[in-house]
Structure formats: structure tokens, C-alpha cells
Structure 1
Amino acid sequence: MKLQKVYFPFLLTLAIPMSFVLLLSLLGVSKTFDRKLSDALFASLPTHYKMSDQIVIIDIDEQSIAKHADDPELGQWPWKRTVYPTLLSYVNILAPPKLTIIDIMFTERSDRDFALVEANQTIGKVSHAANFRSDISTIVNPLIEQNAKRFLIDLPADSPFPKYGSASLPIGEIFTTAPFLHVVNVISDSDGILRRFAPTMKWGNRHFPTLALRAFGETESVITAELEDGTLIVRSGEKERRLPIGKDGMVRAYFYTEAELRAIPRYSAAGIIESLNQLSSGAVEDPNKLTVPPDVFENKIVLIGTSAAATHDDVVTPFGLFPGVIAQAVFASNTIQGHTLRELPQYWGFLFTIIVLSLGTLILFYSQVHWLRNIFPILAVALFLGTFYTLYRLDLILPPTSFILSFPISYLIGFAYLTYTEGKDKRKFNSILRNLVDPGVVSQALDDMEALKRGGEWEITAFFSDVAGFSSISEELSASDLARLLNEYLSAMTDILKANSGTLDKYIGDAIVGIYGAPIQFPNHPSLACKSALEMLTRIKDLRKVWIEKMDYTESARKMKFRIGLNCGPAKVGFMGTDSLASYTMMGDTVNLASRLEAAAKDYGVDILVSESIEAACREEYHFRFLDRIRVKGKDAPVKIYGLICKKNEATPELLQGETIYQKSFLAYTEQRWEEAIRGFEQSFSFFGEKDVAAQMLIERCQVLFKEPPPGVWDGVFTRTSK
């Protein structure tokens, strides 16, 4: 039993989340999640490498194609092949680069192939593109076989690099005279994002360099390579590079930043053609003043590629859509500078996660430092980010999926279990109190009973409701029916009160006393009280329908109505009583006025009577009907009283017109123009009905005052003598 108690938290916080992660791994989706999450982390963490400054791009862009669309020597895309020797000549004559790599395929015969053949033979430092395909080639031309040998890399036939069945090579003599050859295939991950590249690819069992490896080899005709424990060691002359490869022979690229990708030097092919025209025409004599100065290519690795939409050479990178030549430039920079990443096996991510989850379990269940429970999630995330970034700086990628998915699940389960085990005693007391008072009061009472006893004074809304004629109803019912009626009515109304953040103060027979804005201080407590009152009116109508359908109780009970009084203002509130028997209640003038308003509602024939403070606080949200100015018993200051009618947007034009007439009549009443006031109040009957109690009461008051005018200076305020 003790062992179960000790180990169960570990089983709970480790087994469930790690089982979920292992399931994802078995389903084969965790690797994709790892790569997507690492992309997001790379984008948010500081970069520690810079793109190589040895790479320059000649870009056949939209401007180039559009500008020369009508040129008979170039034509529309694809351009005639005479343009490429022109570009190669311009780059190589004045300021020769290390190597020019062409990222464009010449696999179809053209009547201009001789120009490229001549450029191969005269310029020499040019590498042509090949594309491998998955279909199986049955026959290989002996001439191709013979010429392909000079491009091969000596590696075992069973190497893990991507293998293809056939190849699209440069056509004819372009291939046989090509100084160098590179493969331009790129392989996206399962989610369509290009993150990795292969340094070499296989056509059959023959290994050819990709563009990235050719850029590393520059003009060395021989690139040697060997495999050693998940690493490809490549050598070119005196240079050596160790490239970490995965089981599929792919290398995770370091993609720098989006800003760096956009800042790679790219010169429009149109600008180079214009520079040649400037030289040939003599318009510009100083090479440095040409549109594209030739020295920008000096001693560089030059890539000739396309970015125009018509060429359809775009790829999706971790930073979005980019021309394929940009991705090739990144791979070339990675290989030249050694900026490649090694994806650690997934068990490293599992091991890190298990350590952190175990530490979290110890802190949650066995640590006496309670504040550490709350701060540990921040520490755990910081530990993960610190570890991930440290490994990232070492060119290692910690698989992030297991931690990012497991830790929140583990900690939430741990907190839930801890709450369950530590809260048994509290829940016993809680279950009793929640039947009596609002859950918000219960929570605070359990946390700090002394603070509730001390109480305080702040703005609240006092709520009083009472059933009209309940004494008569109670006399008609048996004790059991009376109890059933009260339970049904009080339960329905109390549910609404609590649902709107109200606190039940007490029941007084059929009366309900409630508080809004305490003990939890909601700034919109007047609005919550108004909402509750209107919802209670709707609920009592629904109850009456059910009682009528069932013919339940007596006829008086089935027609039951109630009155509500609302007032907001300062009041003393607190949890008052003994530790074993206490009640959260309110006291003060604000409370007394609310009680008086509930009693006065009968005189004005309204269901909900509110003070001017409620009307002022809620007039933008609810519609109120002005009724009178009164003095309640025990107070000298007059108060305006209003009936709460409906929500603001539900007021009809007829209702507004009737209220305007009523208010004008009330003004005549306060100015002692009794006959005019009577006529106005009678006119309001056409809007409110002949049974409008408020108008009828004021007519009777006018008639009395007409016969016996008030003595001295009269302020138009009616003084109530009863509570």
C-alpha cells in the first residue's frame, strides 16, 4: 500500500504523457512534429551562423524575361542557349569566379548547343546540371557511361544516399564537354517543406555530387568521400568537411534567417546583358560603372538560376516560398562552411523529458516549498529552451516533440491529482456550504475565514424579492404542498442569482435576500443584478405555465407573482457569526433602501423597482421607466424610483412615447398644475393600459392635493410612512 502511494504519482505523471508520445512515434508522425517545432524554435532563437559571402547568384528574374521577350536572340522563356555563353563570358573574362554552377537543365537538343559546347571548352570552370528520376532505365549509352565516370564519387554501393533509376543529363556534346556535373534534385520532407539536402545521389550504384558538394569541391576534378558512423567525410584538395547524415543519407540544413536569404547577392541577367551592351557600344568605359560591375563575381561561387514565375522553380523552405536557386545557395553555403545540423535520435528527447517530468513530480508531490510548484513550469520551459539552444549552438537538434507535448499533460494531471488528494477534507465542508451560499463565498471562506469575518465596506447591489400575497397562498396549501412550492420557487430563483455571480444572503420565508459585488468585487454588479431580475421574471412565467398544465397547487399559487427591489451603493459586508454557524450578509442604508423599494413595488404595480443609482449605472444597457420621487421611512433625502422594464434594445416606440407623456404629466404634478397632470396621466393609459397602477395612483394623489393643496413650499416628493 505504501509502495503504491509512493510510486503512483510517478506512474500517473510519466506513464500517461509518455505513452501518448510513444504512440505518436509508432505512428510515424513525431518526426514531422519534431521538424516543424524545431523550425519554429530556430526562427525565435538567435542565429549563430552567417550565410557565406562566397556565393553570388545570376538571376533570370521576371524583369529579365519581360525585358527581352521580344528580343530575336533570346525570345520568350526558355531562352535560346546562346545567352548562357554570353553570361559565362561576362562573368569569367574580367574578374573570373572560382566556379560557375548552372542550375538550369539542358536536356533537349537545340540548334544553338554549339555555343555552350564552345563555352565548356574555352572557359572550363563551369558545372552543368543533371536531374535523376525514379523510373528504371534499362539501357545506358556507352558514351554516356564512359563520360559519366569522371564525375563519380567513390562510395560503397550500399550507401544510404537517395537512389534513382534513370538520369536526365545535359544533351549530347554539352555533356561530353562539360568540365563538371552536379545533381540538382531536392527532396522535401513529408510535410512538403525543404529542410534537408543530400551531398551525393545515386544513379544506380554510381554516386554523383549534388550542387552543394560541387560548390565545396570548386574546380577540383576529384572529390573523395568516406562514411564513418553516420558522418560523410568529404575531401577536395586540402579541404575536408564532415557532414552528419541521417539514415536516409540526408543532411539537415542550417537555413540562417529569412533576412539573410533575401540578402544573398542576386544580379539580374538583364543587368548583365545591359552591361555587355554598354561595353560593346562604348557607352561606359569604366567597368566599375557598369550596371553590374564584373568584379562582384571575382573569386566567388556563381550560381545561375531562375526566380521568374514562368520557370516554376520554387520550393517551400522553413521561411516560406523561395526560388529553388536560393535553397541551393543555402545548401552550398552549409557545405562550404560546415553549417549543418545533426538531428539527435528521438530517445534523447524522451530521456530529457523523463528527467524533467520526474523532477516535476518530486516538486509537486514531495516538496514542502509550495511556491516552487507554481514556478516550476517556468523553470522547466527555461531548462528546455536553454538545453535546446545550447545543443543548437553545437549544431545538434534535440527532438522537441516529447517535451512540448508531455510536460503540459503531465503537470496538469499532477495538479489535478494533487488537488483531489489534498482537498478531501475541504470538499466535505465545501459540499455542505455550497447548498447555502454562493460558491465564490465558499472558496474564500475556506481560504481565509478570518478575512471574511472582518468584512469590509465597498460598493454592492442589494437584492430583495418577495412573493405577492404569499400569506393567502400558504393558507390554501397543505404543509407538504407549501414546502414543495417553496422549494421549487426558491431553487429556480437562487440558481439564477448564483449564475449571475450573486451571493445568497438569506431566505426569509418566501423572501430572497441577495448580494451582488461581494465577496467578489465585480465592477458591473448593478448590471448583473438587473440581468438576474429580468431572468427571474421569465423563469416565474415558465413555472406558472408548468403549474397550469399540471393543474398543480391552487389557482392562487398558479398565478403567483413576486416583487423585486434593487439598490446599489456602499454597504458593510462580511462573514458574520461563529465558526460553526455563520452567514455572509450586508448592512447599511443601501440595504435598507433596497428593502423599502421591494415593498414599494406593490404601490406602483411594477415587478422590479430600482433606485436612481441603479438607473444611472445601467441606463446604457437596460430600459427603465421613471415612476416617482419619494422619501422612504427613516430617511430625509428624496430618491427617484424607476421600474426596470427590459433590455435597452427591446423598448418599443409606443413604450417610449407613453413614458414621455407620463414624465411631462409628472412635471405638471410637481408644479401643482393638478388638472393638466391628471389629463396627462389619463392620456398615458392609452399606452400603459387602464390598469396602470402608477398613473392611477398619481391621479388619485392629484385629486386629493387639488382639494387640499400642500402647505408652504412643496418639493413634489411623496413621503412613504410605511416600510
Structure 2
Amino acid sequence: MKQNKILFPIFLMVVVPTILTTFISFFRFSTTLDRKLSDGLFHLLPSHHFFSKDIVIIDIDEQSIAKYADHPELGQWPWKRHIYPTLINYTKLITPPRITIIDIMFTERSDYDEALVIANESLGEISHAANFRDGGIVIPRKGIESIQERFKVPLNTHIPFPKFENASFPIGQIGETAPMIHVVNVITDADGILRRFSPFVQWNGFYFPTLAMQAFALGETYETESKDGDLIIQKNGEKRIVPVGKDGLVRAYFYTEEELRNIPRYSAAGIIESLETLNSGEVEDPNSLLVPPKLFKDKIVLIGTSAASTHDDVVTPFGLFPGVIAQAVFASNLIEGHLLRELPEFYGILFTTLVLFVGVLVLFINQWHSLKSLYPIFAISLFLGTFYFLYRMDLVLSTYSFVLGFPISYLLGFAYLTYTEGREKRKFNHILRNLVDPEVVSVALENMESLKQGGEWEITAFFSDVAGFSSISEELSATDLAKLLNEYLSAMTNVLKSNSGTLDKYIGDAIVGIFGAPIQNPNHPKLACKTALEMRKELERLRDGWNQRGEYTPLARSMVFRIGLNCGPAKVGFMGTDSLASYTMMGDTVNLAARLEAAAKDYGVSILVSESIESVCKDEFHFRFLDWIRVKGKEAPVKIYSLEAYQKDVSNEVIEAEREYELGFSEYLKQNWEVAILHFKNVSKFLGKHDITSEMLILRCENLFQSPPPVDWDGVYTRTSK
């Protein structure tokens, strides 16, 4: 295509979608859409990380609350606080866990706070939960300054970690004696889904670690620094690069729904029952308990709740889960380094722009028409492959620009292509729509160049003609003749089109059709046979209707047709002028089909076919051998058959009659005229009606008996008329 004709497609398919997606990126909606789309892709793509084996959860679940609702030491939710040291102490019976992180708030006084204070001072590595929030009234609390000074983290960074106005630390001496503090706040995205977390949060000008950070640090000393916008955390030679976003949050890797549901969770009720069993002396080996203490060896233990009454559920990319599950995911991410880096939207827009530009070349430069249909599949596959390749590297490509831009681009491109090429396509569509079934037309128009050029390939030529139509037309008025002809031709043409046939032309009452063009179809001989049989059945239906209504004349109401079929190579294509052209066929194959239609009259059959049809269709259709003939204009003899019916519909009487006919023809070739005549006469007896073909062969035998053929006679009958 010339240069001036490619500039506008580039504008439509590249510039317009790029401007649109870039404009959308200025709004927060694009970020939310991006994350929703990437969630969907994460569901579809294989997981490449696995949840940390170092994390287990002690879960105060529905069973635990229901089982101990009437227990004098626990009561209904919230439980009395002396149970938590009991749970923590149980995990330390054999080999203690590395750290115990409590995901439950103790911000109000109770009568059992002393138990937690003692646990803080005696049980070691315990981290208590703090909750930060915005708004409300700031209530000064005694001792909060000391807690703030003990647990603040000195960060020298410009990263805008989430900032809160108010803080709720563990109450009183629980907070003052706590070995460690972590913040349990989670921050959902604009659509209410929890996808991201922060290792630190801000309050009162100071930084505090979140639960995930505490699980990574394990109470040890660590150092932090900022580099290229990332947070780098180092402890004991271990280095973790945290790809923090512009708002101080990092995208979490949520593994799979199955893994989230299979995170090791041990019911608090099971631990309490195991402890009671152990204290009763019923078992000596702790490993045989319902929840063996060894399960917590060297683990990071999270104590949280999943019971509905605790109202601690959050919405994750995999649906609703207890908050402690989300915290466990964040902790696993930081411990194992399963952190996703969201690439700037610019990369997604650039990728989309390149794909769109290639789309312009495919639609407007490329000459392989099939590629125009395949390119969307290729482009989508390339997008998914690129997304997955980056995802395997824990990089998240912006997706909204492709998901929005590519369909818009390709729709605009196809619309413009349809507009520019539509005039020529409409011209051929106008010609074809009356010749071929609409579905065939739509396929044929996919390859305009091939359609215009035509070609030479295997087809089946179809010719049909009404017997004695001249006599019928003489009996009818012009109005009735037009009505009869229109009704007949409409019905027959519908049958032709419904079997993927192409109407070549009408010649008065004659129908000329093509099977296997303009769309090549290897089953064209069988489709032609099917059409011929269905036309015969359709004509019977028409005759019944005419007789019931008493329309036309008796001769018209008894109308019959003849069909000739032949398959072989032929030239097919549009032939004519630019303003007046028709899709047609030419060649010896076509000529023979026309001769067969004419010859059908001699043999008294409705459908006459060549050996080329019989040889490829005999498994499905039943043919009767008739003769060897030499048609006018063709020296080579042709073996001809009558198409009778489907194989399943042939009776034994017909088969016996045909066998008798073939015996007679065999004797005919041997010039045993009298024996041949006897066999031919038996055919009508088997059929129970006059068989015109046999009677014609009887007459031929009698003539040859009286006037013997020459010595070189080969039994082929030469027709002298078309």
C-alpha cells in the first residue's frame, strides 16, 4: 500500500488507542483496573512460589469458641487473657518457636492482664499487636511515650510509608513489658481488595514495624537503606530488597487459593485439649497428642482468629479470608522474598504501542489474508507470554493498556479496512449472494485476491433440466408459467445452496451448479449426490402440493427433471467485465456433465453420473451401472451410472434386478445377443415395472443381431447428439 494510505491507519490503530490509554492513566481508575486484570491473570497462570514452611498459625476458630463458650476459665468471646500465655507456653514445651506473633489486640484493661505481663517477662520472643488509625479523638495514655521510644525504628528514608494520626498500643504493663511490638493494620486498594502491605508505618513522626516485618526480623537487629526507590533490609548477612511503590506499599504474592486454605493452622481448642490430656497423665509421649508440641519447633507462630464472631475477615484476590491468613501471606512474602514489583504503566503502554504498530502492518501491508485473522491470537498469546515471563521474575506488567487498546485498535483497523475495501467486496458479494449459501459467501470473501483470480482445481459440475418443459410451457399462460418456474427454481436453488453448492446460472428451466468452488471442499462429489437426491424429493413435495391445490395442467403437475453429474478438474472464477461478471466454470469436466444430463433421457433415469462420481461416493450412495458411452466431442469412452438412493435405502429386489442387468450387459459385450436379451427382460420382472434402460438395450441387441457390428467393436455406444 502506498505511503499516504498507511498514515491514517497508523493514526487510527496506534495513535488513537495510545492517547486514550495514556489519558486513562492520569486517573486512579487505571491503577484499580490494572490490579483487577492482573488478579485474573494470576488465577490463570501457574504459580511459581510456595508458602513459607516456617510459618504456622494457632487459630481461635469457630470450633474453639463454640467448644469453650461455657468454660469457667475462658467464657464467651473475647476469651480471658490468661489463655494466651497457656497457648504460648505449650509451643515451647519441647523446642521453642523462633518467635510468637499475636494478631489480637489488647488495648483495654481486664482482670487477667497480669498473666500476659508475666508471659512477656518469662517466655521470651513474643510480639504484641498495635493498631494505628486516622481520625477520632486523641486520648493521652500513660506510658505511651516509653512504648513509642522502645519500639520505634530509626529509618533514614524518603519512602512515603503509610502515615496514621492515632495509635493504640497494648494497654498498661502489657505494652510496657512487651518484648516486641508490631502494627497489624492492613490497607486495601480502592476496590476494597487487600493486595499490598507495608513493612513499616508512621505515627507521630516515628516508624514502626508491621507484622510481616517482625516475622522477618525475628527480634534481631537489622539495618535499612533506600536505593532507587526500593527499601533494602539487612540482618545477619541476609539481604532483602523490597520493591516499595510510590505510596509505600508493596504488591504481595498471594500464591494460590489451595495453598491459602492449606496453611498449617492448629485449632486453639486442639491445643487446649492436648494440654489437658498431657496434664492428666493419660499419655507419656507428647508426640501422640492431638496437636504435638514439636509442630512449633523453630517456627514463626502467629496467634489469630478465624471465627466469624471476631469480625477479622478481609477480601483478598482469592476471596474472603481471615485477617491472620493475609498477615501470614505478607510474612511469607518478606521471609521468602516473594515480592512483586509493579512496573510503571509506561512499560505496558510501550508494549501495547509496538503490538498495535505490528497490527497495522498485518492489516494493511501483509498479503497473507489468513494472518489477518490469526494475528489477534498471536498478539494475545504474545501478551500472555510476556506477562507470564515477567511474572516469573516477580515483575507485574501493566495490562489495562493492552486489554483496552488492542481491541479498540483492531476494531478501528478492521472498520477502516472494511470501508476502503468494502466497495470491491460488496461488488462480489452482490454477485455471490444469489449464487451461494451466505456462509460460503462469507468464507469466500475472506480471500478477495484468490476469489478474483480464480483457478483450476477439482470440482463437481451439476446440470439439471426439466423433461418436456417446452410442452408444459405451451399449455400455460405467461403468468402461470412464470409462477411455476419461479416456484420450481426457488425450491431447487435452496437445496443447492444448503449443500454448499454454487449457482452458476439459469438457462430457462435448466440449473447449472458448481460444487467445490469458490470454496474448495474435498466432499464436493458427495454433496452433489446429496443435492440431487434431495432435489428429487423436493420435486415430489412440489408435485403433491400442485395436485392438492389443482394448480397448473396435469402435464405440469407431473413434471420430472434430469440431472447430470461429473467431477474432475475445471477452471473456475469470475468471468466477464468489471460491471457485469459471473462466477462460472469451464472445461471438459463441465462439458461431460452437460452431456450426461442430456443422455439421462435415453436411459429413462433422473440422475446420471460418471464413473468419477461413482468411485468416490459408492460407500454412501447406491449407483446402478448402465452403459459405456462415447459422448459427442469426446473420444474416450465413459462408464455411466444412475444414482438411485442412499445405500441404506436400497431393497433386495433392486439389487437382484441390477445383478441381472449386469449379467445381460456382460453377454451383450460378448455379442451373445439372445442370452443378453433374456437377462434384460428379467430386469423388468424383478423391478415390477418397465425398465427403460433394459428395453433400450434389448432394442440395441435386436438391431445388432440383424446388423452385426464390425470386428473391432468394443461395446461402447456412441451418442451423436449433445
TM-score, normalisation: structure 2 = 0.68
Comparing 357-366 with 98-107, greater Cα deviation is found at 357-366
* Distance in 2 (alpha carbons) for counterparts of 1:534 and 1:145: 99
Residue 495 of structure 2 is aligned to residue 525 of structure 1: no
Residues 1:203 and 1:473: Cα distance change in structure 2 (over 3 Å): farther
* Distance in 2 (alpha carbons) for counterparts of 1:274 and 1:436: 84
Residues 1:617 and 1:368: Cα distance change in structure 2 (over 3 Å): closer
Residues 1:443 and 1:395: Cα distance change in structure 2 (over 3 Å): closer
- Is residue 106–residue 170 contact of structure 2 (8 Å, CA) maintained in 1? yes
When the two chains are superposed, the root-mean-square deviation of aligned CA atoms in Å is 6.0
- Is residue 49–residue 256 contact of structure 1 (8 Å, CA) maintained in 2? yes
Aligned residue for 1:199?
A: 199
User: What SS is found at the alignment partner of 1:94?
Assistant: coil
Comparing 72-81 with 333-342, greater Cα deviation is found at 72-81
Residue 691 of structure 2 is aligned to residue 719 of structure 1: yes
Residues 1:713 and 1:4: Cα distance change in structure 2 (over 3 Å): closer
* Distance in 1 (alpha carbons) for counterparts of 2:45 and 2:126: 38
User: What SS is found at the alignment partner of 1:715?
Assistant: helix
- Is residue 425–residue 445 contact of structure 2 (8 Å, CA) maintained in 1? no
- Is residue 51–residue 332 contact of structure 2 (8 Å, CA) maintained in 1? yes
CA-CA distance at 1:332 after TM superposition: 1.0
Residues 1:186 and 1:7: Cα distance change in structure 2 (over 3 Å): same
- Is residue 456–residue 573 contact of structure 1 (8 Å, CA) maintained in 2? yes
Aligned residue for 2:278?
A: 279
- Show CA shifts across 1:191-210 (max 9, x none): 44322112233456654432
Residue 59 of structure 2 is aligned to residue 59 of structure 1: yes
5 Å-filtered alignment, 1:212-361, equals 212-220=212-220, 230-233=229-232, 241-258=240-257, 260-309=259-308, 311-361=310-360
* Distance in 2 (alpha carbons) for counterparts of 1:598 and 1:184: 96
* Distance in 1 (alpha carbons) for counterparts of 2:504 and 2:103: 81
* Distance in 1 (alpha carbons) for counterparts of 2:20 and 2:533: 45
* Distance in 2 (alpha carbons) for counterparts of 1:359 and 1:631: 61
* Distance in 2 (alpha carbons) for counterparts of 1:330 and 1:243: 15
CA-CA distance at 1:51 after TM superposition: 3.4
* Distance in 1 (alpha carbons) for counterparts of 2:194 and 2:72: 37
Aligned residue for 1:507?
A: 506
* Distance in 2 (alpha carbons) for counterparts of 1:49 and 1:287: 33
Match of 1:447 among 444, 450, 457: 450
Aligned residue for 2:634?
A: none
CA-CA distance at 1:303 after TM superposition: 0.6
- Is residue 357–residue 407 contact of structure 1 (8 Å, CA) maintained in 2? yes
Alignment size in residue pairs: 646
CA-CA distance at 1:398 after TM superposition: 1.8
CA-CA distance at 1:173 after TM superposition: 4.3
5 Å-filtered alignment, 1:544-559, equals none
Structure 2: runs of 5+ lacking an equivalent: 577-581, 607-613, 630-637, 655-679, 697-722
* Distance in 2 (alpha carbons) for counterparts of 1:598 and 1:117: 113
CA-CA distance at 1:475 after TM superposition: 7.4
CA-CA distance at 1:89 after TM superposition: 0.9
- Is residue 195–residue 251 contact of structure 2 (8 Å, CA) maintained in 1? yes
Aligned residue for 1:583?
A: 585
Residues 1:499 and 1:420: Cα distance change in structure 2 (over 3 Å): farther
Residues 1:470 and 1:162: Cα distance change in structure 2 (over 3 Å): farther
- Is residue 243–residue 251 contact of structure 1 (8 Å, CA) maintained in 2? yes
User: What SS is found at the alignment partner of 2:301?
Assistant: strand
* Distance in 1 (alpha carbons) for counterparts of 2:313 and 2:190: 17
CA-CA distance at 1:617 after TM superposition: 6.5
Residues 1:93 and 1:514: Cα distance change in structure 2 (over 3 Å): same
Aligned residue for 1:4?
A: 4
- Is residue 453–residue 573 contact of structure 2 (8 Å, CA) maintained in 1? no
Residues 1:430 and 1:269: Cα distance change in structure 2 (over 3 Å): closer
Structure 1: runs of 5+ lacking an equivalent: 549-553, 604-610, 620-628, 644-662, 667-709
Aligned residue for 2:98?
A: 98
* Distance in 2 (alpha carbons) for counterparts of 1:534 and 1:77: 85
CA-CA distance at 1:126 after TM superposition: 1.7
Residues 1:571 and 1:386: Cα distance change in structure 2 (over 3 Å): closer
Comparing 289-298 with 155-164, greater Cα deviation is found at 155-164
- Show CA shifts across 1:22-41 (max 9, x none): 45545644323322333344
User: Partner amino acid for 1:715?
Assistant: K
TM-score, normalisation: structure 1 = 0.68
* Distance in 2 (alpha carbons) for counterparts of 1:18 and 1:488: 57
User: What SS is found at the alignment partner of 1:143?
Assistant: coil
CA-CA distance at 1:256 after TM superposition: 3.5
Aligned residue for 2:21?
A: 21
Residues 1:476 and 1:252: Cα distance change in structure 2 (over 3 Å): same
User: Partner amino acid for 2:115?
Assistant: A
CA-CA distance at 1:315 after TM superposition: 3.5
CA-CA distance at 1:94 after TM superposition: 3.4
User: Partner amino acid for 2:341?
Assistant: R
Residues 1:253 and 1:633: Cα distance change in structure 2 (over 3 Å): same
- Is residue 463–residue 510 contact of structure 2 (8 Å, CA) maintained in 1? no
* Distance in 1 (alpha carbons) for counterparts of 2:559 and 2:448: 32
Aligned residue for 2:73?
A: 73
- Is residue 516–residue 529 contact of structure 1 (8 Å, CA) maintained in 2? no
- Show CA shifts across 1:465-516 (max 9, x none): 75997866677656x9977996797578646743552221432313434455
* Distance in 1 (alpha carbons) for counterparts of 2:639 and 2:245: 89
- Is residue 435–residue 497 contact of structure 2 (8 Å, CA) maintained in 1? no
* Distance in 2 (alpha carbons) for counterparts of 1:421 and 1:179: 76
* Distance in 2 (alpha carbons) for counterparts of 1:25 and 1:250: 19
- Is residue 621–residue 645 contact of structure 2 (8 Å, CA) maintained in 1? no
User: Partner amino acid for 1:327?
Assistant: A
- Show CA shifts across 1:212-259 (max 9, x none): 122233225x87766665434556687664422223322101233445
Residues 1:496 and 1:584: Cα distance change in structure 2 (over 3 Å): farther
Residues 1:476 and 1:451: Cα distance change in structure 2 (over 3 Å): closer
- Show CA shifts across 1:529-588 (max 9, x none): 4998599889999x99xxx9xxxxx9889x9997677899x7447447997695369769
- Is residue 45–residue 388 contact of structure 2 (8 Å, CA) maintained in 1? yes
- Show CA shifts across 1:340-375 (max 9, x none): 222122112111222333344446555789998787
* Distance in 1 (alpha carbons) for counterparts of 2:432 and 2:396: 54
* Distance in 2 (alpha carbons) for counterparts of 1:577 and 1:210: 76
* Distance in 2 (alpha carbons) for counterparts of 1:8 and 1:78: 69
CA-CA distance at 1:86 after TM superposition: 0.7
User: What SS is found at the alignment partner of 1:73?
Assistant: coil
- Show CA shifts across 1:611-643 (max 9, x none): 9x9999799xxxxxxxxx999999999989789
Residues 1:239 and 1:442: Cα distance change in structure 2 (over 3 Å): closer
CA-CA distance at 1:401 after TM superposition: 2.6
User: What SS is found at the alignment partner of 2:92?
Assistant: helix
